[in-house]
Amino acid sequence: MERIIDLELRGLETMVAHMCELAHRAISTALHESLHHGDSYDKVRETSDFLMILADQVEDKAVEIILKFQPVASDLRMVKTLMRISYDLARLGRYALDIAYVNKRFNGVRDCDEWIREYIKNMGQKVMNMVELSLASIKDKSLKSVKEISYLEREVDELYKSFLDKIAKDTSESRAIVSSVLIVRYLERIADHMVYAYEALIYMLTGRRELIE
């Protein structure tokens, strides 16, 4: 028999699922623009702002559920986890906006040397893979991608450190260097937040607090 709280929890899950779609769209749009021509700053800003609003709404709804139903055990874990994940998704929106701003202010990496463009394209693909795996896991409430997420996160970290080493020796025009360094930093932070969200999912489904290494 369905409980009254189940309807409220599904509503919370629906809000977070919508945030997943918006966060993916914002990052994908900003990243595509960094490599190609276009002007998506206003669109990304609108999506990012909406994600912040939704995160506040998720928090308000979560607090309402806690006060109204005083959930325990798995129900409480779900409420806490969805609230935590909504914050990570809102941060993804902000990093997407940061990338879009770099694109607007410094032309992204369109004018960078080809090796920089290829480096960021490769790193961006890995980060987007992490985003898609993590968001799918959140929607499905599944932990089957944990090893792949861990592997990709290590790869992104190594790419980030390697890029900084290489760019320090580059003599390209400073505008391009600033743009590329900022974008790889934002990509690295997006990857970190996907790991945080996955760790929160592990807690929700198992009750264990585990770090993905």
Region 102-113: mean pLDDT is 83
Q: What is the pLDDT of residue 171?
A: 64
CATH superfamily of 4-206: Phosphate transport system protein phou homolog 2; domain 2 (1.20.58.220)
pLDDT for 172 equals 64
Output the pLDDT for position 173: 65
Q: Give the model's pLDDT for residue 11.
A: 95
The percentage of the chain sitting over the pLDDT mark of 70, rounded to a whole number, equals: 97
Q: Is the pLDDT reported for residue 126 higher than 90?
A: yes
pLDDT tens-place string over residues 151-180: 999 999 999 999 888 887 766 667 677 888
Find the mean pLDDT for residues 189-199. 93
136-155, pLDDT tens digit by residue? 999 898 999 999 999 999 99
* Phi (first) and psi of residue 85, to 5 degrees: -65, -35
Per the confidence metrics, is the pTM higher than 0.85? Answer: yes
Instruction: Quick: pLDDT tens for 27-63.
Output: 999 999 988 877 889 999 999 999 999 999 999 999 9
pLDDT category of residue 127 using cuts at 50, 70 and 90: very high
Check residue 139 and give its pLDDT.
Answer: 86
Do the Cβ atoms of 80 and 197 come closer than 8 Å? no
**All structural domains of the chain with their residue ranges:** 4-206
How does residue 24 score in pLDDT terms, banded at 50, 70 and 90? very high
Q: Supply the pLDDT for residue 213.
A: 73
Q: Given phi > 0 = left and psi -120 to 50 = alpha, else beta, which region is 149?
A: alpha
Residue 83 is predicted with a pLDDT of 95
Report residue 195 as tokens: 């790991």
